[in-house]
Amino acid sequence: MILLLPVSRFRVTYEVGAGRPYSRLEELVCRMIAEAAQPVTLAQLRETFHVHDRLLIESVVTLVRAGWAAMNLGEGLAITEQGRQTLSKGGRPQSTTVRKASTSLYMERVCGLLERETQSALNLRSLRSLRELGMSGADLDRSMLTIRNPRNSLSIGQAQGLLPHRAGEWIRWVGEPRMHTKGNDFVPLHVDLASSTVTGLPRTWEPLLTEVLLRAAHEREEEMEEFSQEKISQLISQPPGTRTVQSRAPRTASLPLPPGRAALITGKEEFLSAAQRCIEDAETSVLIMVSAIDAEGVKTWERDLKDALKRGLRVDVLWGETDTDSDGLSELKRIAFESASGPARTLRFNARPAGTVSQIVVADHSADGAGTVTVILGGVSLLHTVVGQDPALPALKVSDPGVAAQIARAAAGWWAETAGEDLSASTDRWRRLASSWEESAAQSPRSSNHVPAQLGGGHLETAQVLLDADCATLEYGQGRGDGVIVRAYPAKAADDDGQMLRGAAAVHLRGPSWSTAPALVTEYQGGS
């Protein structure tokens, strides 16, 4: 039996960065400018360092472009506040180059799974090509699978883990994915009910889609006509001229995790205390992402929210749903009004349900963009008084900027996809923070760009961020391996029909400290 899986194509433009620590000369020039009582001239730099003017000019241009120094016309070079703050903390500037890139991502329209064009060339067929291969109008009608995933958009969070980039580069910025085809292409699949096999699916789609497709085939069994083996081979084979690129790179790369950057939180009181400290220690921005809100839950955290707002923090709340009989949204509006300072609105939240399922707290602890950040995934429900629902424990507290970047960019994508929130200032802020954290992580001496595969004779500890589709396939046993998996949501990430829940996030930890079997994710098979 032949089934036709509808597929949409999205085009994504993005920027990747590559960088290095500044040279010793650039660092010394920066410190001389910072320590000088008056603006520093090129002549003074020449007298101090005794090197060729070209090297001095290159150093000055690099520092000015980075925002560490400023040129006062007619006077000389002066240190900026950003440069002064970082140097006072022992920081060292970085030199960064930016490259623009673009790629195509494909979304199948039954469950919403994604594939990138460089992972494996999909056997995509247009209606015209299917007719040319001998499929009649009746054959097409019977074989087309129903579009059950109505989404015509793709978030930047979903896209980020599939964007190809070279070794030593990091994702610096991701544009909003644009749909180019709306389910107008199809992947022909051969379903053999006798052997319960499906041929023609990408390997990454098999765990979630196979059972769904077998059920669809059983439902259509009486009305379907069998094709000859020759026609089946023509349909499921790659079209002539198609170049298949097999990539063994993981869909989402694992990030090096220095010792002490991550810890499990196993108890309710420990989690509440950690969440409270996370908010109290923030210096610029806090993101609180919850699956649901209600009036009582918001009131419970009102003091913490108001204290953060009083300190000048920008607090963002992304909620999934609200109880109809307890208006948590009205309580958020009240707190925002009572805490307003002039025209600035420092408490932001989505006005309509986002439908997200995860619980995440992200706090930026560095006003100078140094990459000091804390993320807490899972735990006891915040802003919602839950009765009869198990908490997502153990939770995970992690202070790695690379992990924080991927979580923050995903949250910005989920926020932007929420109805009426596509122009929210919150999405832009968290995207900018994600870019700065990713750059900080990539240029760290412990990043994957600088570390060997092993450190001190032991294996490097890593963290892999899993989002949406990766969470759904994970629960079907795909990609477990060794280590520990911590989820930010208490329920499974896909229903029994393979439909993914929105806003699912998890982290897979590997290494000597996380050597136990990944038993923190519950098995979900069929309807069990």
* b/e burial code for range 107-132 (CB count within 10 A of at least 16 → b): bbbbbbbbbbeebebbbbbeeeebee
- H-run or E-run covering 59: helix 53-66
pLDDT band at 122 (very low <50, low <70, confident <90, very high): confident
Contact 315, 308 (CB under 8 A): yes
Closest CA to 209 of 485, 522, 500, 491: 500
What pLDDT does 430 receive?
93
pLDDT band at 521 (very low <50, low <70, confident <90, very high): very low
Instruction: Give me the residue label for tokens 């932007």.
Output: 416
Percent of the chain with pLDDT over 90: 41
What pLDDT does 356 receive?
92
pLDDT at 20 > cutoff 80: no
More confident residue, 218 or 520: 218
> What's the rounded Cα separation, in Å, for the pair 353 and 418?
7
pLDDT band at 252 (very low <50, low <70, confident <90, very high): low
Going by the DSSP 8-state scheme, the letter that residue 512 receives in this structure is G
pLDDT at 95 > cutoff 70: no
Most confident of 207-221, 287-301, 448-462, 492-506: 287-301
pTM above 0.95?
Answer: no
pLDDT band at 280 (very low <50, low <70, confident <90, very high): very high
Average pLDDT, integer, range 331-354: 85
pLDDT tens sequence across 417-457: 888 776 578 888 899 899 889 888 876 655 544 333 333 33
Going by the DSSP 8-state scheme, the letter that residue 134 receives in this structure is T
Instruction: Give me the residue label for tokens 């003091």.
Output: 303
Closest CA to 307 of 343, 285, 346, 280: 280
pLDDT band at 250 (very low <50, low <70, confident <90, very high): very low
Closest CA to 200 of 228, 236, 226: 236
pLDDT band at 275 (very low <50, low <70, confident <90, very high): very high
For residue 204, give both structure tokens.
Answer: 């990454």
What pLDDT does 223 receive?
84
Q: Which residues contact 349 (CB under 8 A, 6 or more apart)?
A: 316, 317, 318, 319, 329, 332, 336
Contact 238, 244 (CB under 8 A): yes
pLDDT at 254 > cutoff 70: yes
Q: Which residues contact 357 (CB under 8 A, 6 or more apart)?
A: 291, 320, 489, 491, 493, 501, 502, 503, 504
More confident residue, 141 or 227: 141
Residue 365's CB: how many other CB atoms inside 10 A? 16
Average pLDDT, integer, range 207-212: 88
Q: How far apart are the first and last CA of the chain?
A: 29
What average pLDDT does the chain have? 82
For residue 483, give both structure tokens.
Answer: 């280590």
What pLDDT does 6 receive?
94
What pLDDT does 481 receive?
63
Average pLDDT, integer, range 25-38: 90
Contact 71, 33 (CB under 8 A): no
pLDDT tens sequence across 139-192: 999 999 988 877 788 888 888 888 988 877 888 889 889 998 887 899 999 999
For residue 168, give both structure tokens.
Answer: 């030593």
